[in-house]
Amino acid sequence: QAQLVESGGGLVQPGGSLRLSCVASGSAFSVYAMGWYRQAPGKQRELVATIHSGGRTNYADSVKGRFTISRDNAKNTMSLQMNSLKPEDTAVYYCNRVEREFQLSWGQGTQVIVSS
The sheet with strand 4-7 has its strands ordered as: 4-7, 18-24, 77-82, 67-72
Cβ partners under 8 Å of residue 80, min gap 6: 19, 20, 22, 36, 49, 67, 68, 69, 93
Residue 89 to residue 64: CA distance in whole angstroms: 12
Res 30 pLDDT > 80: no
- How does residue 27 score in pLDDT terms, banded at 50, 70 and 90? low
- The proportion of the chain whose per-residue pLDDT surpasses 70, expressed as a percent, equals 98
